[in-house]
């Protein structure tokens, strides 16, 4: 893992890379799909993700943006404190740690923070999770089976057993691939925290709120049975 900085016009660009194959800023130039006509993008947490290919592999480029009222004022800019506290570098370190624990998260490739006048923008590149859809997509299409629901609960439990706390579980940062493997996304605010049964269930109930919010937004009944499968599999002994 290497960290470098370079000057670009009036900005200072900081890069961290998982290996030496990502030389210079080239991987980010390859991934700047938001400037290309016809680029395909999807919402990914508080940001937009763009798939692209680099070095023969499928990657995902994520540009961080704000949510809530602040998004109408500053959109994708954050106050610079330290490099380690930037959104992209924090998530890169988190994913590196969690991936090293053999937990199902995207493999981190590179992170970028661009500083100018006390503010910065942030970008992250990870390897793409192939043939995967969000939990929200499954709810949209009513394909959330008992097997998938149970896999979601079991996967969250694996994270908790290794003291990995995700503070914002929701239907858009849980992905399921075609083999029904479950992955968690968006770890820039994760915590290493031992969870007992009570605190673990409190964490998982954030997902309950997200599922209810989506049900109301879509005008669909809450998937109570599927939610119960998630909780039951989370609570089940090994």
Greatest mean pLDDT among 2-6, 38-42, 79-83: 79-83
Q: Is residue 82 domain-shared with residue 137, that is, in the same domain?
A: no
Predicted confidence at residue 119, as pLDDT, reads: 92
Greatest mean pLDDT among 11-15, 141-145, 223-227: 223-227
Instruction: Give the residue carrying structure tokens 């499928």.
Output: 58
Cβ-contact 212, 222 below 8 angstroms = yes
Question: SS3 string of 170-198?
Answer: CCCCEEEECCCCEEECCCCCCEECCCCHH
CATH number of the domain where residue 77 is located: 3.30.200
Mean pLDDT of the chain: 85
- Rounded Cα distance between 6 and 67, Å, is 29
Predicted confidence at residue 211, as pLDDT, reads: 95
Q: 10 Å Cβ neighbour count for 151?
A: 18
Q: Is residue 29 domain-shared with residue 122, that is, in the same domain?
A: yes
How many domains does the chain divide into? 2
Q: Of 206, 203, 208, 200, which Cα lies nearest the Cα of 227? A: 208
**pLDDT higher than 50, residue 43:** no
Predicted confidence at residue 15, as pLDDT, reads: 79
Question: What percent of the chain clears pLDDT 70, i.e. is strictly above it?
Answer: 82
Cβ-contact 78, 88 below 8 angstroms = no
- From 1-15, 116-130, 133-147, 223-237, the region with the lowest mean pLDDT: 1-15
69 DSSP assignment: G
pLDDT band at 142 (very low <50, low <70, confident <90, very high): confident
Q: 10 Å Cβ neighbour count for 140?
A: 15
pLDDT band at 40 (very low <50, low <70, confident <90, very high): very low
Instruction: Give the residue carrying structure tokens 């858009």.
Output: 172
Q: Is 218 a catalytic residue?
A: no
CATH number of the domain where residue 201 is located: 1.10.510.10
Average pLDDT (24-53) is 57
Select which of 32, 168, 177, 208 is catalytic.
Answer: 168
H or E segment and range at residue 30: helix 26-31
User: By residue range, what is the domain housing residue 226?
Assistant: 132-235
Q: 10 Å Cβ neighbour count for 5?
A: 11
Q: Single out the residue in 112, 127, 142 at which a domain terminates.
A: 127
Predicted confidence at residue 113, as pLDDT, reads: 92
Strand 42-43 and strand 11-17: pairing?
unpaired
Q: Single out the residue in 106, 127, 148 at which a domain terminates.
A: 127
Predicted confidence at residue 67, as pLDDT, reads: 67
Burial of 203 (0-12, 13-18, 19+ CB in 10 A): buried
- Rounded Cα distance between 161 and 155, Å, is 10
Q: 10 Å Cβ neighbour count for 197?
A: 10
Q: Single out the residue in 93, 108, 127 at which a domain terminates.
A: 127
* Residue 45: strand, helix, or coil: coil
Summarised one tens digit per residue, pLDDT across range 213-222 is 999 999 999 9
Bigger pLDDT: 40 vs 122: 122
106 DSSP assignment: P
Summarised one tens digit per residue, pLDDT across range 53-81 is 888 889 999 999 876 555 556 678 999 99
Rounded to 5°, the CA angle 84-89-94 comes to: 100
**pLDDT higher than 90, residue 133:** yes
């Amino acid at each position: 893992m290497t960290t470098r900085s370079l000057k670009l016009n009036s900005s200072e660009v900081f890069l961290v890379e998982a290996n030496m194959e990502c030389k210079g800023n080239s991987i980010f130039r390859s991934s700047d799909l938001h400037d290309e006509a016809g680029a395909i993008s999807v919402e990914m947490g508080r940001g937009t993700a763009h798939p692209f290919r680099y070095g023969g592999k499928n990657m995902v480029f994520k540009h961080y943006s704000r949510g809530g009222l602040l998004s109408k004022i500053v959109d994708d800019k954050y106050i610079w404190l330290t490099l380690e506290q930037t959104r992209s570098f924090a998530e890169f370190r988190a994913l590196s740690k969690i991936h090293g624990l053999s937990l199902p998260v995207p493999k981190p490739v590179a992170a970028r923070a661009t500083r100018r006048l006390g503010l910065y923008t942030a970008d992250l590149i990870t390897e793409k999770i192939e043939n995967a859809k969000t939990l929200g997509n499954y709810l949209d299409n009513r394909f959330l089976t008992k097997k998938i629901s149970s896999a979601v609960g079991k996967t969250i439990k694996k994270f908790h057993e290794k003291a990995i706390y995700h503070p914002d579980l929701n239907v858009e940062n849980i992905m399921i691939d075609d083999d029904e493997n479950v992955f968690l996304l968006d770890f820039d605010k994760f915590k290493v925290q031992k969870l007992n049964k009570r605190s673990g269930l409190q964490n998982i109930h954030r997902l309950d709120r997200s599922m209810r919010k989506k049900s109301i937004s879509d005008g669909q009944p809450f998937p109570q049975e599927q939610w119960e499968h998630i909780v039951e599999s989370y609570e089940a002994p090994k």
